Each structure stands twice: as C-alpha cells, then as structure tokens.
Chain A
C-alpha cells in the first residue's frame, strides 16, 4: 500500500497547504517578531521608508515595566481572569444543558437549535446587544421593574471595583510561590507512587524554594517598577464573561451532547442495574468518559478567549481599562497611536500566551498519535 508513488502524492496534496501556511502564518509571525525588536513608531512611522532601528528587547521591557504601560499589565491580568471564568463557565453551562437535553424532553430539537444559535452571530453583534443589556440605566437592571420589583443596581461593565488585588512588584515572589507549590504537589505524587528518584528530583527544589520564600523573601528581586502597581480581578469583566458564555455555551453543549450520545446504552443500563440513580450515573459513568471532550473544549475556548477582540471592543470601546484585553490594546496602539513596534511586541506576548496553552496539548496529542 505504501508505495513511492503514494508518498509523492501525499506530499503533493499537502504541498499547497504547507506553502500557504508557511507564508501566511510562519513568515508573518517572523515578520512580527522582527518588527517587535525595532523602534518602528518612534519617527515618522507612516513614511514610505520609515527610519527603523534595531533595539532588541527594549519594547518588551517597556511593556512590562513602563509607567504608561500599566495598562498592558492589567490587560494580562484581565485576560487571565476572563479566560479562566469564560472557559469554566462555558464548560459547566454547556455540560448542564447537554445533560438536560440528554433527558429527551419534548421539543428537544427546538431547544437545541435555540441554545446553539448564538454561535451563528458575529462577536460584533453580540457585543453591541449585550452592551445595551448591561447598561446600568436600562437593560437587565430594569427588568425586575416589569414585574413590580425594584430595579437592580449592578454596575456591570462600569464597575471600577477590583478584588483579589496584588502588587505587580510582587510578581517574581508570586511566581516563586506558584512554582514551589507545583513542585511540592509533583513531589508528593511521585513519592506516593513509589518513584523515589523523581520524588527526590522534584522534592528537593520544592523544599528549597519554600525555604527561600519564607526566609529570604526580601531577597527575591521585585519587578523593578518605580511605584507599586496594584492589579486584580476587575469585576467589570463579569459583563464580558456573561456575553461570551452566552455565545459559546451552545458549542460546548453540542460537544457534550455528542459525547453523551456516544456512551453506549449498555453502560448506562449497567449503572442503573447496579443501583445508581440518574445523578450518580452521570457523575460516575458519563463524566469520566467525557474527559477528552472537556480537554478539546478547553483548548478551543481558551484560544478564542485569548484572541477576543471584537466582543470587548463592541461592548466597552477602545479605552476602558477595566475590561481591556491585550488584543484591543494591540489594535489601538498600532492603528491609532502608530506605534507599530509596540503593537508587534504585544502581539508576540499574546502568541507566547496562546502557545503556552496550546503547545503542551499539541505535544501530548502528537505523542498519542505517534503511538496509534
């Protein structure tokens, strides 16, 4: 079956895609990285041949420690919390809807289409509609008045409250703590499974880091800023999270519906015969089988959330720091402030974030497939 001719055909078929992606993805990424290492934007950025100089990692340093780029740091924090709650919320709600529909209610087809339809809308439309819905003066806040109750007083995206605050200066310290915690967990797991060498390998650095944090904490360098910079979870993001979940829970619902349908009926019967009620059946039998779906949903939703631009832009406009995301900042810095190099640097940071989410997943499925 595997003749030389077939191998040639294989390459031939893949060739156009390889070339196209090579140019339109990898070459462009390379260009962006190069631009991020220059000072394009400082002098006459829109000239036919703008004077550009190579400045290495200056732009990145500015992004993370500049006075004016506190906004970028907050964007990163915003994106982190947004991704976390959006993915969690979509998965939980999608699973919930799928389980409900799995019970075969009447009108299942209609309901399924109903929950799925928000996906057919563009983010811009969704953002505009939800902007109206979440305006504190009208929209959802006013709904209770229709049934005679007093209006709600949520501030939604106007909120300037921030919880879970931390100081950006403390980031290195926090990183040490997080790494130490992870290592401790790994060490414990290794030792429990009797893997002595791995246990030592992870355990010793873990203990070392914990000791360093407790005793030598002040020796850990601060992030090098001039003033303390407080960041945290802006409650305003909740509005965006709600809109995004509304749009995407249909997708996770579809995934889980498919997954639930893929569970053979015998398994369910067996569980029932063993005395499980429906609730336990879902928990013990269905959920573990749905793990691979959850994983792929996390990846897809995660990367969509990191790229979110249209939704945020339509809902809160270009200059709303409490709901800002790196993609919005990138767009306005590049096309409104003409700072192409800084925009490219933000883009590269965004890449790296996405890569951090995606590459481990690709790696593991690559390994899995190689063994197929």
Chain B
C-alpha cells in the first residue's frame, strides 16, 4: 500500500489552494446589486464623497453605487426627502446623519436603525475611536452609526497680519475679548463677525462651553443642570454682551460672508467650525498659519467640541450586505484617510495617517488626541432635532429682545418638551 508521496502532496496542495480560494473569496465578498447612499454633500464637498465611492467601487466592482444627494436649504431639503421616504417605506441603503442625538433622538427611538456594536467589535473600532466619542454616539442599547469625519466647532479665526496692524492678540478668554473689542471698534473694525441665526447659535455654544466647562456642559444635556440655573443666565448675559460687538447686518450674511469680513480686514475675529479652514484654504487660496490663524475659542482651550458626519444602517435597507460593506469601508483607516483630506475635516481614528492632511488638520488632529471631547449642540450631537428646531426660535427671540431670563425660560420650556436628559 504505497500511498504515492505525490498523491499526498497533490492532495495537500489542492486542499491548501481550495482553502486559500475560499478565504480569498470571503475577503472579496462577491457583492452585487446596488447601493444607494443618501447625503446632503454637494458643491465642494462632492469630491470627498466621490473619492469614497470610487474606493468602494474599486473593491466591489459589481455593485452599482447611486449617489442620491439632496442639496439646498441648509440640509432641511435633505431631511424632508429622507423623512418622506422613510415614512413612505422606502429607506435608502445608508444615509448621512450627524452622529449623536440627531440620529438617536429621531431614528433610534423610532426603532429604525440597526445596532452596530457587532461591527465595532469585529473591526476593532472600540480601540481606535476615542472613548468620549463612542459614548456620545451610543445609548445603552447599542452603537448606532459609523463616524466618518470630525469637525471642530469651537475655533476662533483671525488674520495674523491684521491683528498685528491693529495691535491686538487673540483673546484667551471672553473677558479679554470684551476689553480689546472697544479698542477695535474705535478703529472702525468689527470685533467679531457674525452671520445668520445658526451662526449665532454656533457662537452661543462656544460661549456656553467657556462659562460652564466640559463637565457642566455634559450635565446640562443629561438633565442634571437646569436651563434656568444661574450658570445659564450667566451664559446668556455674557452672550448678550458679546453680541454688542458683532456686525449689525449679521442676518443678511451667509457664514462665508462673515469669514470674508475677517479676510478683508473689516472684522477681527470669527468663531466658526473648522470648515472655515477649508473655505479659506481651498476657495480663497490662503495658507494656514501664514495667511490665517486660529485658536480654540476663548475660554475653551483644551476642550474639543466636536461634530461628526456619520452613516448608519436603516432597518430594512434594500441592499443590506452592500450597505454593511460601505460602513466597514467608512470606518476603515483607508476610507477615512481618503475622504477627510478632501473634505477638510479630520478622521476620528486615533491611528490616522496625518501626513495626508494639511497644516490646519494636523493641528486639529493633535488637539483631538489630547483634548477633552464634548459634543456640539448646533450640529446634532447632544440634543435631538425637536430641541434644536425650537432652540433656533429661542435664539432668534434673544437676538431681538436680548433678554437673558426670557431666553433661559424659553430654552427650559423646549428642553422639557423635547425630553432632554430622559
């Protein structure tokens, strides 16, 4: 009985090849069909999304990706279309949504999303995303979306050359700002540029963070700090003082036009998220650090107020496997480092390859690694949509009346209605 040596070798080879083939096939995941991605990225944000789609298509060439973007109306049109579709029983395979309460308070409580904890575990993301971030995007029932980027909300922008000309330095606290502002006004410069209502809300959350600090900010959204507490009245009070040094035509300007005021030397400072860096760098062709500078907004040094665009998995997604592959790509290092440099944001992953990013993003990423992370209000992390919608009205009311007590009471009323902290 001579089992030919060759037979055994051949047998083993075939077996190995078969296994390798099986593993290889597993890896490539023969996916077919379509993948419909719903977002509101348009205009200059388009190329970043397109790069991700190209990456996906290179990995899964048999899947047809449909880029269903709905632009306009500052995201409200996209929300209208998305909600109409979901209510009509026609969910896309995956949709862009701000990570945090905007997703949780709308879709998760409605039992429309699949829990992604298994994916986070499988892909090893629990170690790669900062814990603060994961806390903000989960509930006790699971983790609900894959964050694909991080933007920072609390940034103060200025033009160094202009500041030197006027003899001021970027303020480290709001009290400092209130001291240098009259000096600037005397020279005919707008101390702080502001645009439409939502940018006032954006400014407000930086001011609130500086007064409350990260712990009390979190407590506010957990329902442990009252909206009418003395701290909150202090916030509105300070905010009102700061507003005196903003431009009177704010509500006719878009946020870029407010940035333009700073760039043109008509205004000194502007508090805006770090997409302003993208605007100044890409559209206005200014160099970071040389032509424009930034600091954490006054009083918030060491705290990173974040917002994140993310994608989730709706229950009943027509092409679930394709969607899962999309999400895995989004959370991967390769996906994030392809998308973010083009978008002008940074990757939430702590192992991101920083050599691909520009000077501003590198500085933001350094802060991301070391700062305390809290969530933005205006961009959907800490409060649900009903609250945000009502808060916009409260802000406009305050801009008209400048009455801190009234605003605080109104904010408390909507917090109650929206179930903040429950």
- Mark A residues whose CB is within 8 Å of B: 41, 43-48, 50, 67-68, 70-71, 131, 134-137, 155-158, 160, 313, 316-322, 331-339
Interface bits B104-125 vs A (CB < 8 Å: 1, else 0): 0011011110000000000000
Query: Smallest CB–CB gap between B209 and chain A, Å?
Result: 22
A46 interface neighbour in B112, B389, B390, Cβ under 8 Å: B112
Q: For A46, what are the chain B residues with a Cβ–Cβ distance below 8 Å?
A: 83, 86-87, 106-107, 110, 112
Of B76, B79, B86, B196, the residue contacting A320 (CB under 8 A) is: B196
Given contacts A68-B393, A137-B252, A158-B252, contact A336 B86 (CB under 8 A): no
The answer to whether residues A158 and B386 also contact, given A46-B107, A313-B73, A320-B197 and a CB cut-off of 8 A, is no
Residues of the B chain whose Cβ atoms lie less than 8 Å from the Cβ of A333: 389
Q: A158-B252, A313-B73 are in contact. Are A44 and B390 (CB under 8 A)?
A: no
Most chain B CB within a 10 A radius of its CB, from A48, A50, A336: A336
Q: Mark B52-87, 1 if CB is under 8 A from A, else 0.
A: 000000000000000000000110100110010011
User: In chain A, what residue has the closest Cβ to B77?
Assistant: A335
Tell which of A41, A44, A332 touches B111, judged by Cβ atoms closer than 8 Å.
A44
Interchain CA distance A48-B88 in the complex, whole Å? 9
B250 at the interface (CB under 8 A from A): yes
Q: Is B413 in contact with chain A by the CB < 8 A criterion? A: yes
Query: Given A155-B248, A160-B399, list of 16 further CB < 8 A pairs?
Result: A46-B107, A131-B252, A136-B252, A137-B257, A160-B400, A316-B251, A317-B74, A320-B196, A320-B251, A321-B396, A321-B397, A334-B80, A336-B385, A337-B386, A337-B388, A339-B389
Q: How far is the CA of A339 from the CA of B385 in the complex (A)?
A: 10
* Residue on A nearest B401 in the bound complex, by CB: A160
Can you list, as one digit per residue, whether each of B248-261 has a CB less than 8 Å from chain A (1) or not (0)? 11111100010000
Distance between Cα atoms of A156 and B248 in the complex (Å): 12
Chain B, interface size: which category?
35 or more
* 11 A-B pairs in the complex with CB atoms less than 8 angstroms apart: A44-B109, A46-B87, A47-B110, A68-B393, A155-B249, A160-B400, A316-B251, A317-B74, A331-B76, A335-B79, A336-B385
Given the complex, which residues of A lie within 8 Å of B248, measured CB to CB?
A: 136, 155, 158
Contacts of B112 in A (CB 8 A): 46-48
B392 on the interface (CB 8 Å rule)? yes
The answer to whether A68 and B414 have CB atoms under 8 Å apart is yes
Q: Pick from A71, A134, A331: contact of B393, CB below 8 A.
A: A71
Task: Assess whether A321 is in contact with B400, with CB atoms less than 8 Å apart.
Answer: yes
- Cα A87 to Cα B276 in complex, Å, equals 42
By beta carbon, the residue of chain A nearest B418 is A337
The residues of B that contact A317 with a CB separation of less than 8 Å are: 74, 196-198
A134, A321, A334 — which one has the most chain B CB atoms within 10 A of its CB?
Answer: A321
- Cα–Cα, bound, A43→B106 (Å): 10
Which of A160, A331, A337 touches B390 (beta carbons < 8 Å)? A337
B residues in contact with A331, CB < 8 Å: 76, 80
Q: Which residues of the partner chain A approach B323 to less than 8 Å between Cβ atoms?
A: none
Nearest CB of chain B from residue A163's CB, rounded to whole Å: 15
Q: Is residue B410 within 8 Å, beta carbon to beta carbon, of the partner chain?
A: yes
Interfacial chain A residues near B79, Cβ < 8 Å: 335-336
Nearest CB in chain B to that of A135: its residue: B252
A256 to chain B, nearest CB (A): 34
- B interface residues (Cβ-Cβ under 8 A, vs A): 73-74, 76, 79-80, 83, 86-87, 89, 106-107, 109-112, 196-198, 248-253, 257, 385-386, 388-390, 392-397, 399-400, 409-410, 413-414, 417
Whether A50 contacts B386 in the complex (CB less than 8 A), given A136-B249, A160-B400, A317-B74, comes out as no
Residues of B within 8 A of A67 (CB): 409-410, 413
**CB within 8 Å for A338 and B400 given contacts A46-B112, A136-B249, A319-B393:** no
- What are the residues of chain B within 8 A of A131 when measuring CB–CB? 252
Of B74, B385, B393, the residue contacting A338 (CB under 8 A) is B385
Residues of A within 8 Å of B392, CB to CB, are 318-319
One of B111, B198, B397 near A47 (C-beta < 8 A):
B111
Q: Which residues of A contact B87 (CB under 8 A)?
A: 46
In contact, A338 and B106 (Cβ under 8 angstroms): yes
Q: Are A321 and B393 in contact (CB under 8 A)?
A: yes
Please tell me if the beta carbons of B393 and A157 are within 8 angstroms of each other in the complex. no
Q: Is the CB of B76 within 8 A of A319?
A: no
CB of B166, distance to nearest CB on chain A (Å) = 20
Q: Which 4 A-B pairs have the closest CB atoms?
A: A337-B389, A47-B110, A335-B80, A136-B249
Could you tell me the distance in whole angstroms from the C-beta of A213 to the nearest C-beta in chain B?
Answer: 31
Residues of B within 8 A of A336 (CB): 76, 79, 385, 388-389
Q: How far is the CA of A313 from the CA of B109 in the complex (A)?
A: 30
For the complex formed, measure the closest distance between the CB of A226 and the CB atoms of chain B, giving whole angstroms: 11
| Cβ-closest chain A residue relative to B316 | A48
Q: Which of A134, A156, A313, A318 has the most chain B CB atoms closer than 10 A to its own CB?
A: A318
In-complex Cβ contact of A48 among B106, B111, B395 (8 A) = B111
Residues of chain A lying within 8 A (CB to CB) of residue B197: 317, 319-320
Name the one of A319, A321, A339 contacting B198, with C-beta atoms under 8 angstroms. Answer: A319
Q: How far is the CA of A68 from the CA of B395 in the complex (A)?
A: 12
Q: Given the complex of chains A and B, what is the CA–CA distance between A157 and B249 in angstroms?
A: 9
Contacts of A318 in B (CB 8 A): 73-74, 76, 392
The distance in angstroms between the C-alpha atoms of A332 and B257, with both chains bound, is 24
In the complex, A321→B73 CA distance in Å?
Answer: 17
Contacts of A71 in B (CB 8 A): 393, 396-397
Q: Which residue of A lies closest to B252 (CB)?
A: A135
B107: which A residues are within 8 A, CB to CB? 46
